[in-house]
Amino acid sequence: MEIAGLPVPVFCGVDWAEDHHDVALVDAGGTRLAKLRISDDAAGFAQLTALLTEHGDSKDHKIPVAIETSRGLLVACLRATGRPVFAINPLAVARYRDRHSVARKKSDAIDAAVLANILRTDMAAHRPLPKDSELAQAIAVLARAQQDAVWDRVQAHNKLRSQLREFYPAILAAFADKRGGICSPEARTILAKAPTPAAAARLTRRRLQSLLRQAGRLRGIEAEADRIHEVFHREYLHQPPQVEAAFGQQATALLRQLEAACTNADQLEAATRESFDQHPDASIISSFPGLGSLTGARVLAEIGDDRARFTTAGSMKAYAGSAPVTRASGKSCTVMARRVKNQRLAAAGYVWAFASLTASSGARAHYDRRKEAGDRHVAAQRNLFNRFMGMLFHCLQHGEHYDEETAFPNQPAAQLPAEAA
């Protein structure tokens, strides 16, 4: 068995835990050469590297390591040594474990040996962690954190909105037609000063104008203040005064959570955009219609910049979940959407495909053809995303920018919405 043309007679498996890790080494024949329990610190990592060196690890002959996670300090340090690191799915490890013990016994040392034997017998069936650059890994951290912050913001917004429906319909009515709803800076600022309907009714037009300026509004302040003042003085149902005051305190607590989520999302977005713009692939990725700095950073975070990670466009499409799955048996053949995929990349792909409909006439024409063929909205967008992923693979491999004529040749110019013109 070889990696990059170099013989690898020894394989390493690491069963990780929070405070310690079990290590096992096996040779090409399956004989266990060593086992060791190391601590989760620098001293433990030094023990591991010393053990690997003792069994033939060198600069030109790196012993591959199998572990059940792709994250953490241990994995980062192993990758920094330049060795192949394989992140094996725990479910796959459980299946392999049954091959070695019909009694289904389990221990950390046994799992470490199972991981080493996975590399010994089926290393070609598993993919090592990509050799992404340091900048690409930093972008991945920021983009995923920003995506998590957006999801936290949505959750905090939904909690607050649900609670306001219990006692404060006026604030919801005042910002029902505004972008972001109560998540907008104006709504958050007013709600912080008037957490109950009674407090909102006491706000004067001049006070509302001051709050709108405080929220950052620059135009139409007087008209907006008049509109909100009129909404707050309409007839609404009310909770008893003490109950309303209690609801107001709860709303203030939920508002603080929403404020923190909004701040985190905005700050992480700025950091993500800044890091993405420094990457060499940023210009290629951003050349695609519908891909700005933020969505482009999310795409780069998941596919990385290791050109050897995906050997074909089809493998990258499958990783993104845009390629369909065919299940055939006898005379039965079913084509269905892929469920096992990178969920973050699939979420970014939905945003990408949707935004491209107003930025590319070819993308819009492709989407319309899929709809006319019977696809629903989501299926048509997934098909468009699948096509974009193939184009992106080609452009990254050859260092080319997106070209509309090449991407959608011989397409009649579709009529884009007025705002995209």
Element (H, E) at 12: strand 10-16
Tell the residue number behind the tokens 């890790």, with chain if given. 21
What is the C-alpha separation between 96 and 111, in angstroms, rounded?
Answer: 9
Q: Each residue's pLDDT tens digit in the chain (421 positions)?
A: 444 444 558 999 999 988 899 999 999 888 899 999 999 999 999 999 999 999 988 888 899 999 999 988 999 999 999 899 999 988 888 888 877 666 677 788 889 999 999 999 999 888 899 999 999 999 999 999 999 999 999 999 999 999 999 999 999 999 998 888 899 999 999 999 999 999 999 999 999 999 999 999 999 999 999 999 999 999 999 999 999 999 999 999 999 999 999 999 999 999 999 999 999 999 999 999 999 999 999 999 999 999 999 999 999 999 999 998 888 888 888 888 888 899 999 999 999 999 999 999 999 999 999 999 999 999 999 999 999 999 999 999 999 999 999 999 876 554 444 443 3
Distances from the Cα of 380 to the Cα of 177, 323, 337, 371, angstroms: 29, 12, 12, 6
What is the C-alpha separation between 125 and 333, in angstroms, rounded?
Answer: 25
What is the C-alpha separation between 34 and 51, in angstroms, rounded?
Answer: 8
137 exposure class (CB count in 10 Å sphere: 0-12, 13-18, 19+): middle
52 exposure class (CB count in 10 Å sphere: 0-12, 13-18, 19+): buried
> At a CB cut-off of 8 Å and minimum separation 6, what does 91 contact?
none
pLDDT given for residue 45 in this prediction: 94
pLDDT given for residue 85 in this prediction: 95
Contact (Cβ atoms closer than 8 angstroms) between residue 142 and residue 270: no
Contact (Cβ atoms closer than 8 angstroms) between residue 262 and residue 107: no
Other Cβ atoms less than 10 A from the Cβ of 280: the count is 11
> What single-letter DSSP state applies at residue 418?
G
Tell me the pairing of strands 10-16 and 6-7. Answer: unpaired
Q: How far apart are the first and last CA of the chain?
A: 58
Tell me the pairing of strands 6-7 and 2-3. Answer: antiparallel
User: Residue 382's closest CA among 314, 326, 320?
Assistant: 320
What is the C-alpha separation between 227 and 247, in angstroms, rounded?
Answer: 25
pLDDT given for residue 68 in this prediction: 92
Contact (Cβ atoms closer than 8 angstroms) between residue 345 and residue 147: no
What is the C-alpha separation between 324 and 421, in angstroms, rounded?
Answer: 33
What one-letter code names the amino acid at 130?
P
Contact (Cβ atoms closer than 8 angstroms) between residue 363 and residue 290: yes
What is the C-alpha separation between 29 and 10, in angstroms, rounded?
Answer: 9
pLDDT given for residue 103 in this prediction: 65
Q: Which two tokens stand for residue 200?
A: 């909102």
pLDDT given for residue 58 in this prediction: 87
Radius of gyration of the chain (CA): 28
Contact (Cβ atoms closer than 8 angstroms) between residue 378 and residue 410: no
Q: Which two tokens stand for residue 380?
A: 């048509």
pLDDT given for residue 136 in this prediction: 95
> At a CB cut-off of 8 Å and minimum separation 6, what does 314 contact?
323
> At a CB cut-off of 8 Å and minimum separation 6, what does 326 contact?
333, 334, 335
What is the C-alpha separation between 327 and 365, in angstroms, rounded?
Answer: 30
